[in-house]
A and B are shown apart, each in its own frame.
Chain A
Amino acid sequence: MSEERVIGIDLGTTNSCVATVEGGMPKVIANRGSYKTTPSIVAIAESGRRLVGHIAKRQAITNAQNTVYAAKRLIGRKYAHPVVQQARQVYPYKIVEGPTGDARIELRDKVYSVPELSAMVLGEMKKVAEEYFGTPVEKAVVTIPAYFNDGQRQATKDAGKIAGLDVIRIINEPTAAALAYGYKKNVKKRVAVFDLGGGTFDISVLDIQDGVFEVLATAGDTYLGGEDFDQRIVEWLVFGFAKEHKVDLRQDVMALQRLRDAAEKAKMELSVTASTEINLPFIMSTGKSDALHLQRTLTREKLEEMCGDLVERCVEICDRMLKEAKIRKDELQDVILVGGMTRMPKVQESVRSYFGMEPSKNVHPDEVVALGAAVQASALTKTGTGQPDLLLLDVTPHNLGIMIAGGYFNTLIPANSTVPTSASHVFTTTRDDQIAVKIVVLQGDSEIASANELLGEFLLTGLPRAPRGSVEIDVNFDISPDGIVAVSARDRATGAEQSIQVTATNKLTEEEMQNIIKDNEAFAVAEKTQEAFAEQRTNAERAVREIERLMPVVRDVIGSSDFGDDALKKAHQVVERAKRAIAMQDADALKSGREQLERTVVMFKGVASKVGKS
């Protein structure tokens, strides 16, 4: 009858980590090799065996084409996405287009979807935990970069499902780090989490107080991380080698893999030493009997020069986010560094100089995310009816909306809204006798629909034939605490409803998307502002009468006090506004004034009842 075991998994770009809460404290679970992190690498051996983690990493050089690393950079992405196209140039494994336009990976003549490959890593972490507990584990919280969009979140959740995990929650990595940072420490602070990992960069600002973790704002870049630093070193080595030997090492998959490993190692060494030796003997055979060797010295200074712009990009993202969220740097009381890349002195220095304070050294940059995930998993599965002792109020990182007539993007849920959240809006047809509308759901920051990420589309058919503008369609958006989007649309008159869970399999190519947008002019919807005016007017008039009836009584009682004077003045304004709105037939003004009217009535009644004159 022991408590159910729940785990938190940090599914990283380069390394993954699993943790659990034991005796009230989060704790990282080491794998069989007693390593606390496991490389997020999957390989298919010649025998067809699946290899995951350290074992996969060790054989990478000899089996580069069938070894997948950094799958996280591809998860939930369309094949046509520029990021995927760029990856095709860099990675030794073969990236192909899936049947729904998603990016897939071909290993030994078999095509794997990215969630399948991520699932292998998750499965490995699950196994690590099960070996530690000696019992099966099902429930897990999995972390993702905060700036992941819906498709990427959905795909990660799918990966969990494939791995046989019940992913009870997807949480953002910087948020998880903050959870571990503030858990049971009675922290009351505003902190920034600077998370530069293997593949992604996130910056989040949170208020932590009384066990509540409120994310105020988040921003990031899902394609900026340690991999990019490694890539710079690889390029430097490749170009240097080419200059010397007139040979492009990138043509040789095995050489490329060795370069990659050496680059990562050199980068890590330069975090503690000022210079390092990169020595790769027999990097390439020229076909004649002699082989080419690579031997170069890389200094920290050189590395910083090569990667300065990457660090600069991180700082720029921080700056933009703080400005947009209207948070001043001096309001921050701590900066937490997360992710292996934050060990780089240049990164630390940039953070120190930008935020004007020494970053916190209280958390382990590689483990803190998994620890936070475990904390959240434990909090969610806590039994009993009492209030939770830990609560996460996270936000959605992107604007969410639909495409409207003219190819514009109509935001319904703005970025940095606390999840779960929902919004609904009434749209209307743009043509006479339009019998179908296509709802195109997008996520992004641009006003132009096509510049944003397409999450999916769905068609609402069977609308009654009517003049344009007279058919009303309710579109409802919902973002779950996981940040996953569900959309439904309903014809107000017929009640015909369709809903979609926006899924990764709904992915479309850029070209297809452009086509959709073009075609959609025929199905476009427009914003609907007309309202049931009469009913609102009746209600408003009733409230106005009630307020006017009670006005003398209320004035008699509270007119002499400051707040009373204020309240009366306001009540007067509210009534005037309502009257004006009625006179002008202004439905919007009437709608926005309704609540105030109601509250005024309640307040007046309250005062009147105190003197027995209600």
Chain B
Amino acid sequence: MSTTPEPESAYEVGAGVDITKLPLTPEEGFVVSRILGRRVTAADLIKEAVVEPQRAASVLESLARKGAVLRVSTGRAGAASGPDPYRGIVFSMVDLSEPADLSEEQRKRILFVEMNLESWSYYKLLGSKRTATPAEIKNAYFKSSKEFHPDAFFRKNLGSYRERLDRIFRAMKLAYDTLQDPQRRATYDDTASIELTPEEEAELELLAQEKRKVDEAKRRDERNAERMKEQRLKRNPMAERMRKAREYLELADEAKRAGKLDEAANHARLAAGYDEGLKAKVDVIVLQAERARAGTMMKRINQIVASPSDMRDMADELNRVADEVAEVAARANDAPLLVEVSTVLMKLKRPVRAAKLAQQAAEAEPKNPRAWEALAEAAHADSKWAILLRAADRWLHLEPANARAKELHKVGKRQS
């Protein structure tokens, strides 16, 4: 007797059973009180420690024999047999627990039909379909009547369900009366929207599926097109170069932000090599790097120039570096740097080149006296008197008290 009942058996207290009137042992009474109002299996009761595992079978057996509980196959209940017809519906606990001689299933069914009285067509209300023959409609009505006619609940305590059943049966009668009369049915069919028949429902499902497929195909096509475009770009060498160029430019920006200007310039140059279109951006970066470098070189030049012996020894290197800086200064159109290089070139006895740089500096910053000074000195050394005169004139104009300016102005005036 210690075997637990087969797992598919569930128990509930039958409707209308007054457990207080049954000859139950205290243990049975306790178990029943735990079953009341729900449907449980022996396993549930054991799990909840309502009854000891070895006693479960015999206690439930005895309760069933005394009529206190009903053994119901859980297979029969909604959950296991197909989808729950009331899925998504929340029934009021007040309605479900109201004292009435009805099973929970009956209550749910009544509440469910009642809440749909307005929205269901006559066909659906009777559990029939639009294409049903008169005989089928009669069948459906008879079946519904057996379920909802007041006589099916003769002299039972129904509480609020009496009125609900009354409403339902009245609606069913009206539905039947209408559908049974060919003329009234035709009028109804012509005017009312009626739920689809199962066949139509299937067709609708098919149509909806097709529609979903079409929609999905459209979306898929769109996604594909985008992917194809990307792939096309990938296969195109130009595009690949441009992509690389962008990558290098990014690296350059990164390096620049890190203060590594030379590295930035290198990346930038590579970028420009892949994509001509980036030249302007690249030039900015490169120039910035070159300026920085020129600044360093200028320092070195000034060191060398400070000592005449060094200047002599390293004349070649000095000339090369000066040229390099001059080039950067010219490209950057940097007046102070141009003036500085121009001054160095004068010291290296290259007045022609010095004049050229000074000229650029003066054009870049016409109000900078140092530019005009450099130009005047270079023109003087190169004996370009007209230029000397004009430069000295501008210099004097900016620094009227400068003695060297006055002197050179005089020389210029005299020579021209």
Contacts and interface: CB of A to CB of B under 8 A. Distances in A.
Interface of A: 168, 207, 209-212, 214, 379-381, 385, 387-388, 391-393, 418, 420-422, 481, 556-558, 560-561, 563-564, 567, 570-571, 573-574, 577, 593, 595-596, 598-600, 602-603, 607, 610-612
A385 B193 contact: no
B191 A596 contact: yes
Contacts of B200: 561, 563
Contact of A573 (B149, B191, B215): B191
A392 B142 CA distance: 10
B260 to A, nearest CB: 55
Contact of B192 (A214, A388, A564, A599): A599
A607 B102 CA distance: 35
Given A570-B191, A599-B192, A610-B204, A420 B150 contact: yes
B170 A421 contact: yes
A474 B208 CA distance: 48
8 contacts: A381-B154, A385-B103, A387-B146, A391-B149, A393-B145, A561-B200, A570-B192, A593-B191
B35 interface: no
A95 to B, nearest CB: 37
**Which 5 pairs from chain A and chain B are nearest by CB?**
A610-B208, A600-B193, A212-B142, A599-B193, A380-B154
A391 B151 contact: yes
Given A385-B106, A598-B118, A561 B170 contact: no
B204 A557 contact: yes
B16, B121, B152, B169: which has the most chain A beta carbons within 10 Å?
B152
A481 B150 contact: yes
Contacts, number: 114
A388 B152 contact: yes
Given A385-B102, A418-B173, A557-B208, A574 B150 contact: no
A598 B151 contact: no
Interface centre among B15, B102, B151, B193 (most CB of A within 10 A): B193
Interface of B: 15-16, 101-103, 106, 118-121, 138-139, 142-143, 145-147, 149-152, 154-155, 166, 169-170, 173, 177, 190-196, 200, 203-205, 207-208, 211-212, 215
Nearest to A605: B119
B4 to A, nearest CB: 28
A168 B101 CA distance: 19
Given A209-B139, A481-B150, A563-B196, 15 more contacts: A210-B139, A380-B151, A385-B15, A385-B101, A385-B103, A387-B147, A420-B166, A422-B170, A556-B211, A560-B207, A564-B207, A574-B193, A595-B118, A596-B193, A610-B208
Name the prevailing secondary structure of the B interface residues.
helix
Given A387-B152, A481-B151, A611-B211, A603 B145 contact: no
A388 B196 contact: no
Nearest to A547: B193
B152 A561 contact: no
Contacts of B155: 168, 380-381
Given A421-B170, A610-B204, A391 B211 contact: no
Contacts of B143: 210
A421 B173 contact: yes
Contact of B205 (A422, A577, A610): A610
Contacts of A595: 118, 192
A574 B189 CA distance: 12
Contacts of A602: 119, 193
Contacts of A567: 193
B204 A393 contact: no
Given A380-B154, A388-B151, A574 B145 contact: no
Nearest to B130: A563
A603 B196 CA distance: 9
A420 B195 CA distance: 28
Contacts of A610: 204-205, 208
Contacts of B146: 210-212, 387-388, 391
B178 to A, nearest CB: 11
A492 B141 CA distance: 35
Contacts of B142: 209-210, 212, 214, 391
A610 B204 CA distance: 9
Nearest to A594: B118
B145 A212 contact: yes
Contacts of A168: 154-155
B119 A598 contact: yes
B208 A611 contact: yes
Contacts of A420: 150, 166, 169
A387 B149 CA distance: 10
B204 A599 contact: no
Nearest to B154: A380
A209 B139 CA distance: 8
B194 A392 contact: no
Which of A380, A391, A560, A563: most chain B CB closer than 10 A?
A563
Contacts of A596: 191-193
Contacts of A593: 191
B96 to A, nearest CB: 16
A391 B145 contact: yes
Contacts of A211: 146
B219 to A, nearest CB: 13
A384 to B, nearest CB: 9
Contacts of B16: 385
A58 to B, nearest CB: 40
Contacts of B150: 420, 481
A561 B118 contact: no
Given A380-B154, A385-B103, A385-B106, A603 B195 contact: yes
B288 to A, nearest CB: 57
Nearest to B156: A385
